[in-house]
Structure 1
Amino acid sequence: MSADVEFFRRLVLERSGLSLGVDKDYLLHSRLTPLMREEGLATIDDVFSRIRADPRGLLAQRGVDAMATHESFFFRDTTPFDQLRDVLLPALVARCAATRSLRIWSAACSSGQEPYSIAMLLLEERRLMPDWKIEIVATDMSEPILTRARRGRYSDFEAARGLSEARRTRWMRREGSEWTVAPEVRALVDFRAHNLMDGTAGMGRFDLIFCRNVLIYFEQSQKRWALQRLAEVLAPEGALVMGSAETVVGLDSAFVPAMGLRGVFVQR
C-alpha cells in the first residue's frame, strides 16, 4: 500500500468517519476514476498524490465526498415511516402540544428522498398538527449532493422507487422528463451542509432524529462519539431512528432500544 493511499484513507476517516479498510479498495478505484478523468490525470495514483500534496484543496474534498454512499430512495425500508406514522408521531404530537412545534433532523440526507418522504408523511397526517410550526433540517457533508437535493428533481426511475402512484401524483409535479417535488413538501425542508464528524454545535434541539445507514460505516470509537453528539441535541423524550442493520448495543452509548420498535432508540 502506497503512502499516498494510506494518507487518503486517514483523511476520509478524519473528515467523514468512514472507515476504508483494504477490503474497500474496489471503492477507491470505482469512485475516484470519474474524478481522475475529470481532472485529466493519467492514473488513480496521480489522484492520491495530488490530494496528499494539497489536503485542504478542492480535489481532496471532492475525493472525500466521492467515498460517501449516496444510495437513497423514497420511503426507504418502509418500516421506519410506518412506525413514524403509527407510533412516534402521535407520541410527539402529545408531547409537543404546548409549543405546537415539531423539529426533525434527517442526517446524511444524500439526494433528499428521506427528508422529502418525512415531509410527505407529515403533510398526510397534518390533521394531527393543525397550524403547527414544522421544520425538517436535512444535512449532508457533500455540497454537490445538497444542490441536487434542494432542486428536488428526480428521474422517472427515482420517482417511482418507493413512491406509490397515489403519492407521486399527490406530492410531485411532472416537468418534462423529470418529476419535481411539490412546493408544499419542499417548504418543510431546510437543507444545510453539515458533517457529523464536526459535532452538533449550532444545530439546535430536535424532537426526532433520522440517522440511518450512516454509522454502520464508522469505527466503534467514532460511533460512540457521534451518538453522544446526537444525544446532546435530542429532546429528552425524543427518539433516534437508525438503519435496520444498525444498533447501539455494545457501544456504551447514551441510547437504548425503544421497546417494540425496530431501529428506534431513546435516551437512557
Structure 2
Amino acid sequence: MTPTEFNFLKTFLKTRSGLMLSNEKQYLVESRLLPVARKAGMSTLSELISKVQRGGNAALEKEVVEAMTTNESFFFRDKTPFDNFTNVMLPALMKARGDRKRLRIWCAAASTGQEPYSLAMLLKEAAPRLAGWRIEIIGTDLSTEVLEKARTGVYSQFEVQRGLPIQLLLKYFTQNGDLWQISSEMRSMVQWRMMNLLESFSSMGEFDVIFCRNVLIYFDQETKSDILNRLAKQMPQDGYLVLGAAETVVGLSSAFQPVQGHRGLYHRGKEPAAGAPRTSSVAGSRLFAS
C-alpha cells in the first residue's frame, strides 16, 4: 500500500466514521482490509482502494468502513463500570424515578452485544427490586454485521470465558456444541439499531444512562467534543454518562461533571435535579412485572 493510498483511506474513514488513523496503523489496515479484498475477488489491497476511490459501490464502501471500525468487546469489560451501575447509578435512579418506574439505557457502541447483555443480566438479577419497572436498553453500532451477531446472542466458548461469571453463563445461556446462546428473555430486553455517532441521534429520545465506552478514543478532539455535547442533549440533568478508562470529558465538554470516587462515571449536570420533566419512548421495553 503506497503512502497515497493510505492517505486516501485515512480521509475516507475520517469522513465516513470519524475514525482517526495514525501512520503507524498501516498494519491494522492491511490485516482488516485484505479479507475484504479477497471476499470481493481482488488479490491486492491496492485493487480494493482503487475500487473505493472510483466510487459507485456503496456496499463495498460500507464493508470497508465496518471492517475498520469493528472493535472487540467482552462481557463485563473492565468490571468497574458495571459495579458502578449496580451500586451507584441504579440505586440513585430508582430513588429519583420511583414515581414513574421507567429507565432508559443506551449502549452507544454496542459492537457484538456483550455490554448491553451484561447490563440486562444485572437488571434481571435485581428484578425483585424492580418489580413493576419498565426498563429499555438500546444497543447501537455503526456495523450491521456486529449488530446481527448481537441480535442472535450466540457466542463462542472463548467469548463467554472472557469476563462472564460461570454462574451467569449457566443461568442465562444454553450450550450448543462449542457455542453458547443467551436466553430469549435476555434477548428480548435489548433493542438493536444501526447508528453512526457522527450523524444526528436526536430522534433516539432521552436516556437516564448512556454507555459510550472505548469509542471516543478513535476520534479527533473536535469530533469528541461534538459527540459529548450532543449526548448531553439526550439526557436529563441527573443522567449518567459512562466512558472508557482511557477517555474523559475534561477539556472537551462542560456539560458533564465527574462523579467523585468513581472512575469513568459522569453526571449530566453539576447539581443533579431528580424529577425533572422528561419525555421518552418506551416502545419495546422490558417490564418487570410484580
Deviations 1:16-69 (A, max 9, x none): 111012121111111101011111112111111111111661111110111114
Measured in 2, the distance between the counterparts of 1:113 and 1:54 equals 35
Question: Post-superposition shift, 1:3?
Answer: 4.0
More off after superposition, 88-97 vs 49-58: 49-58
Say whether 1:226 aligns with 2:252.
no
**Alignment of 1:139 onto 2:140:** yes
Q: Does 1:100 align with 2:101?
A: yes
Q: Secondary structure at the match of 1:196?
A: coil
Q: Deviations over 1:141-177 (max 9, x none)?
A: 1011111110000111111211111110111111232
Comparing 209-218 and 15-24, the one that deviates more: 15-24
For 2:9 and 2:62, locate their aligned partners in 1 and report how far apart those are by CA, in whole Å: 11
In the alignment, the residues of structure 1 paired with residue 27 and residue 257 of structure 2 have an alpha-carbon distance, to the nearest angstrom, of 35
Query: Is 1:158 equivalent to 2:159 in the alignment?
Result: yes
Shift, 1:185, TM fit = 1.1
Structure 1 stretches of at least 4 aligned residues deviating more than 6 Å after TM superposition: none
Distance 2:166 2:62 in 1: 38
| Aligned 8 A contact 1:104 1:206 in 2 | yes
Do residues 263 (structure 1) and 261 (structure 2) align?
no
* Percent pairwise identity: 45
The answer to whether the 8 Å contact 2:229/2:253 transfers is no
Separation of aligned partners in 2, 1:68 and 1:7: 16
Q: State the partner residue of 2:31.
A: 30
C-alpha distance in 2, partners of 1:82/1:222? 29
Distance 2:139 2:253 in 1: 27
Contact 1:172-1:182 at 8 Å conserved across structures? yes
Q: How does 1:157-196 map to 2 (within 5 A)?
A: 157-196=158-197
User: What is the RMSD computed on CA atoms of the aligned residues?
Assistant: 1.3
Seen in structure 2, the aligned counterparts of structure 1 residues 56 and 205 have a Cα distance that, compared at 3 Å, is: farther
Answer whether contact 2:112 2:150 (CA < 8 A) is retained.
yes
Contact 1:224/1:253, CA 8 A, preserved across alignment: no
What letter is aligned with 1:44?
L
What TM-score comes out, normalization by structure 2 length?
0.89
Are the counterparts in 2 of residues 105 and 208 from structure 1 also a CA contact under 8 Å? yes
Superposition map of 1:18-97 within 5 A: 18-54=19-55, 57-97=58-98
Gaps of 5+ in 2: 270-290
**In the TM superposition, what is the alpha-carbon distance from 1:186 to its structure 2 partner?**
1.0
Q: Distance in 2 between matches of 1:24 and 1:167?
A: 37
Q: Distance in 1 between matches of 2:128 and 2:36?
A: 48
- Name structure 1 gaps, 5 residues minimum: none
Aligned length: 268
TM-score, normalised via structure 1 length: 0.96
Cα gap change, 1:237 to 1:178, in 2 (>3 Å): same
Residue 198 of structure 1 aligns to a residue whose secondary structure is coil
Deviations 1:200-248 (A, max 9, x none): 1211110000000000111000000000111010122000001011111
Q: Cα distance 1:107–1:55, how it changes in 2: closer, same or farther (>3 A)? A: farther
Q: 1:56 to 1:258 in 2, by over 3 A?
A: farther
